Amino acid sequence: MVREPHHDKKKSFRLITMDINLKIKNEIASLLKKHGLKIKPQDLREPPQAEMGDISLPCFILSKEMKKSPEKIAEDLAKVIKPSGFIINIKNIGSYLNFLLDYAKVTEMILTEIKKERSDYGLNKTGSGQKVMIEYSQPNTHKEFHIGHVRNICLGSALVNLYQASGYKVIAANYLGDIGAHVAKVLWYMLNYVNEADIGPDKGEFLGQAYSRAIVELNSDPEKQVQVQEILQRLEAGKDRDLMFLWKQTRDWSLDAFNEIYDELGIKFNVDFFESIEEKEGRKLLPMLLKQDFIKESQGAIIADLEEYKLGVLVLLRGDGTSLYGLKDIPLAIKKFKKYKIDKSLYIVDNRQSQYLKQIFKILELLGFKKDMLHVPYEFVELKSGIISSRTGNVVTYEEVRDAAMTKVVNETKIRHVDWSEEKINEVSKKIVLAALKFGMIKQASDKIITFDIEEALKIDGFTGPYLLYTNARLNSILKKAETEGIKLTGKTDYKALESNIEKQLIKDLLAYPQIVLEAQIKNDPAILAQFIHRVCQNFNTFYHELPVMKAESEIRLARIILIKATKQVLENSLAVLGMPILKEM
RNA sequence: GACUCCGUAGUUCAAUGGAUAGAACGAAAGCCUUCUAAGCUUUAGAUCUAGGUUCGAUUCCUAGCGGGGUCACCA
């Protein structure tokens, strides 16, 4: 059964966040239209320096059409266009026509908007009416859950949130590798080398070790591989009751361990798919598949021959009749669309499987199943000691990283808050660790290999998750102080009071947020949002050091408090999208 | 070999084809009787090479060099 994601009907019908930034750009576009110029809002950009203006039109794009130099165009336009609405002044600098905004007006609009929209600020409706399934995580049972899996989860869950923020109905799907060669190897090892007493309390850890030990044993003796092959055959046949019992038992160990990790990471899936089930579905498809010209027998195996599409061949069934991953992915892809009525299917999968997924998509296309399926690739996580490999045991597990980070953060927190209870220190530290881990995985574009360095991951200053939480704690601290001092947050606000460059920069940041969310979703790249929100925090911290809030004159103080509230809202909204926790103090 | 991803400060990363290539860590120097110093300010420091397209190239194209990955029975 699919558990539908929480969806408030009332909300989906109301107008979500008005993008003021876009509104301003549209206004400029229509201002230019009066002078016969066709400008799209996206042609307008932000000047590199605040003194130059707030929004800029590069006149190079008009040069050819108008048969004038861009400098001349900017100069002439600056003379004839009259400021109006949000625009208070227009000037030309070189080949750029720069617009200055009426900040009091813009500030009032944006701060009022954020106050009204709260956690809805930044949402858009570009995906409304569309249903997308995002498959991510996809761990193999009977193996350890390592730090590389964490990258996938952070990316996948952030994409789920981003698509929801764009109005899509999202089904978050997990696909668990609970059958296959790796499972057979572990079961074989357990049957031959393990006594009940050898199994420790941490079942997940035990299975991980069993897997790498099995590999060692198998490498030493090719004859043992025949035994594994035979186990896989029995497993797929499903008739050996003792074997099936052991499989189910160990499978549950893994699934329990995974669920614990998902809970810790705050991850929820709407639906779980299993390879063991898709394997059966794949076999049902076999008669149909074998009728296809491109699916044939070769060297005893059943393959899909995709040579003519320059995609090589994909083995579906081994020579011994056991099945491979491709046979399972085909029925699953179809099921996603037919059963769940989705419009779009996303696969958050390691870049190394990009050729494989092209093969799967091509096979489906050749079967007449042409749908909107997209592989969202990301580069893997490697260790200083080389590529992560369960086979060679070169693995850093999620738990190892979490524990090391926890020790460090707890120590740090104890030093800072001697008066806090053990319980509070643990609670806060857990969130800091989670923030560090998640932000660390998301902050860099997914096409970059992350060389995982535990020291790097434990860092809590700079471009890190804890920096964001710390900033939020500071924001909270001011608001808390305002509250205890009984500062009234009502009455007329003088938005003109927010006149310094850094305050204007913060206003610009708040304005940009909805566009950033949309861009991150369209590009399937949460790093865009991560980088943005870090910049906002930097700007706030600069503001924090430059300008007092509580000690400012009462009118200025009120305006600044409202700015702070809005900044906090945008920060918290961003953290929520990135799947990160929020802390009031740290 | 074919295909593919990546080459930017000492290191890890940014930059829809646009104005002076930005951050973080590390290095050097400052800032806590003042809203949390897990912070802020300042200094030094970079586009692999050669062509091409363009008014303009870190970005696009071609070739080369360097590194990673994939390419029939792991997922």
- Residue A300 belongs to some domain of the structure: no
- Residue A358 belongs to some domain of the structure: yes
**Gap between the Cα atoms of A520 and A163, Å rounded:** 9
CATH number at residue A96: 3.30.1360.70
| A71 CB inside 7 Å of strand B | no
**Which 371-410 positions of A have CB less than 7 A from strand B?**
379, 387, 409
| Residue in the structure block whose two tokens are 């099921």 | A335
pLDDT recorded at residue A41: 85
Q: Which domain holds residue A180?
A: 136-286+319-387
Write the single-letter amino acid at A339.
K
Pair A253, A211 in one domain: yes
| Residue in the structure block whose two tokens are 């369960």 | A390
What is the distance in angstroms measured between the alpha-carbon CA of A312 and the sugar C1' of B70? 11
Pair A429, A366 in one domain: no
* Cα first-last separation, chain A: 41
What ipTM was reported for this prediction? 0.96
- The DSSP-derived string for A330-384 is HHHHHHHHHHH--SEEEEEEEGGGHHHHHHHHHHHHHTT----EEEEEE--EEET
Domain boundary residue, one of A387, A409, A436: A387
Burial state string for A347-372 with b = 16 or more CB within 10 A and e = fewer than 16? bbbbeebeebbbbbbbbbebbeeeee
* Beta carbons within 8 Å of A334's beta carbon, 6+ residues apart: A364, A369
Pair A431, A569 in one domain: yes
Write the single-letter amino acid at A502.
I
| Backbone torsion region of residue A570, taken as left when φ is above 0, otherwise alpha when ψ lies between -120 and 50, otherwise beta | alpha
**Which 210-269 positions of A have CB less than 7 A from strand B?**
none
CATH number at residue A148: 3.40.50.620
Pair A569, A438 in one domain: yes
Pair A426, A347 in one domain: no
- Residue A306 belongs to some domain of the structure: no
pLDDT recorded at residue A265: 97
Pair A351, A436 in one domain: no
Closest by alpha carbon to A354, among A332, A381, A375? A375
Pair A324, A352 in one domain: yes
- Residue A75 belongs to some domain of the structure: yes
Nucleotides of B under 7 A from a protein CB: 2-6, 12-16, 18-20, 22-26, 34-41, 55-56, 68-75
Pair A427, A546 in one domain: yes
- Measured CA to C1', what is the nucleotide nearest A69? B55
- Residue A174 belongs to some domain of the structure: yes
Pair A468, A563 in one domain: yes
Pair A363, A475 in one domain: no
pLDDT recorded at residue A18: 63
CB atoms within 10 A of CB A184: 25
Counting as low any pLDDT under 50, the low residues of chain A are 1-16
Pair A539, A475 in one domain: yes
Burial state string for A96-115 with b = 16 or more CB within 10 A and e = fewer than 16? bbbbbbbbebbbbbbbebbe
Between the CA atoms of A25, A28, A32 and A34, what dihedral angle is there, to the nearest 10 degrees? 120
User: How many domains does the structure of chain A reveal?
Assistant: 3
Domain boundary residue, one of A342, A368, A387: A387
CATH number at residue A548: 1.10.730.10
* Beta carbons within 8 Å of A485's beta carbon, 6+ residues apart: A550
What is the distance in angstroms measured between the alpha-carbon CA of A96 and the sugar C1' of B56? 13
| Backbone torsion region of residue A151, taken as left when φ is above 0, otherwise alpha when ψ lies between -120 and 50, otherwise beta | alpha
- Residue A310 belongs to some domain of the structure: no
**Which 536-555 positions of A have CB less than 7 A from strand B?**
538, 541-542, 544-545, 547-551
**Which 287-326 positions of A have CB less than 7 A from strand B?**
298-301, 303, 310, 312-313, 315, 317-320, 322, 324-325
- Measured CA to C1', what is the nucleotide nearest A447? B5
DSSP state of A170: E
Domain boundary residue, one of A344, A360, A387: A387
- Residue A553 belongs to some domain of the structure: yes
What is the distance in angstroms measured between the alpha-carbon CA of A558 and the sugar C1' of B12? 41
Pair A41, A144 in one domain: no
| Backbone torsion region of residue A186, taken as left when φ is above 0, otherwise alpha when ψ lies between -120 and 50, otherwise beta | alpha
- Residue A7 belongs to some domain of the structure: no
| A470 CB inside 7 Å of strand B | yes
**Gap between the Cα atoms of A518 and A217, Å rounded:** 51
